[in-house]
């Protein structure tokens, strides 16, 4: 536990003094993790092992009481994982690019969002929203358009608007989406080793019309 707390410091400074928010990746692993025998060549044969999540987060918040965390609660999430997240009032994640499959029960659809969440159009591991949208098949794209009201704005702004309008307490929009960039500008493609984390930003990319549009939407939805 102390080792984990030490990882959340830079020198003598707690990271809470350097960043507004930290995301805990693979949060479900703090409730239980998949243990694989050392001799196994794949991850198929293993079993779940209970993790000391409550003890860890209890110590963490005693040591760093001002720490603001977000739980990456993506993937297969059990009631026990949800209970751990809620026990420490950690917001979960809602990814809009995951919302438009599986019908009305899809938990990422905006009308399922709750206040204790952070909504994203997409994360660093997703395509840009424009790249994602153009890669959809016709039926999926029609559903997206229908859900978003066949807006007059072109992608990705309808998704940005939907994120900002969400009940989630916080909305995070990747800069590539604000700039309307296609999939050639995605940050990372999981499972690959080349071409990742190469994208760079320059303030000249931000045009006055982009500034005014974003400001208008942020004010409209009280962000």
pLDDT tens track, the chain, 223 positions? 565 666 666 555 666 677 888 999 999 999 999 999 999 999 999 999 999 999 999 988 888 888 899 999 998 899 999 999 999 999 999 999 999 998 899 999 999 999 999 999 999 999 999 999 999 999 999 999 999 988 788 999 999 999 999 999 999 999 999 999 999 999 999 999 999 999 999 999 999 999 999 999 999 999 9
Active site residue 137: no
For every residue of 56-67, DSSP letters joined together read: HHHHHHHH-TT-
Q: Residues with Cβ < 8 Å from 122, sequence gap 6 or more?
A: 95, 96, 97, 128, 129, 132, 174, 177
Backbone angles phi, psi at 55, to 5 degrees: -65, -45
Cα gap 73→148, rounded to integer Å: 25
The ranges assigned to domains in the chain are 1-75, 91-223
Is 209 among the catalytic positions? no
Of 74, 151, 164, nearest to 119 by C-alpha is: 164
Q: Which pLDDT score, from 0 to 100, does residue 63 have?
A: 83
Q: Give, rounded to a whole angstrom, the gap between the first and last alpha carbons of the chain.
A: 36
Residue 146 appears among annotated catalytic residues: no
pLDDT score, position 8? 65
- The backbone torsions φ and ψ at residue 168, rounded to the nearest 5 degrees and listed phi first, read -55, 140
pLDDT for position 174: 98
pLDDT for the residue 13: 60
Q: Pseudo-torsion of CA 83, 85, 87, 89, nearest 10°? A: -140
- Burial class from Cβ neighbours inside 10 Å (0-12, 13-18, 19+) for residue 172 reads middle
pLDDT at 164: 98
The single residue of 68, 72, 82, 116 carrying the catalytic annotation is: 72
Please give the Cα distance from 89 to 71 (Å, whole number): 10
Among the listed residues 162, 135, 130, 132, the one whose alpha carbon sits nearest the alpha carbon of residue 146: 162
Q: Which candidate, 90, 87, 86, places its Cα nearest to that of 24?
A: 90
Given the residues 63, 82, 125, 145, select the one marked as catalytic.
125
pTM score: 0.89
pLDDT at 67: 84
């Amino acid at each position: 536990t102390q080792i984990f707390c030490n990882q959340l410091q830079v020198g003598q400074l707690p990271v809470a003094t350097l960043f507004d928010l930290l995301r805990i990746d693979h949060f479900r692993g703090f409730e239980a993790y998949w243990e694989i025998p050392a001799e196994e060549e794949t991850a198929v044969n293993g079993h779940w092992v209970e993790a000391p999540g409550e003890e860890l987060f209890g110590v963490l918040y005693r040591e760093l009481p001002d720490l603001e965390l977000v739980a990456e609660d993506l993937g297969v999430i059990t009631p026990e994982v949800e209970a751990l997240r809620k026990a420490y009032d950690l917001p979960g994640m809602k990814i809009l690019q995951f919302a438009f499959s599986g019908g009305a029960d899809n938990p990422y659809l905006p009308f399922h969002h709750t206040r204790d969440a952070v909504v994203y159009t997409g994360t660093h591991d997703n395509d840009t929203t424009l790249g994602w949208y153009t890669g959809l098949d016709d039926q999926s794209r029609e559903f997206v358009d229908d859900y978003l009201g066949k807006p007059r704005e072109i992608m990705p702004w309808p998704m940005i608007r939907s994120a900002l309008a969400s009940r989630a307490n916080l909305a995070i929009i990747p800069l590539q989406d604000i700039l309307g960039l296609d999939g050639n500008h995605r940050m990372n493609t999981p499972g690959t080793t080349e071409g990742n984390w190469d994208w760079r930003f320059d303030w000249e990319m931000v045009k006055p019309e982009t500034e005014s549009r974003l400001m208008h939407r942020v004010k409209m939805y009280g962000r």
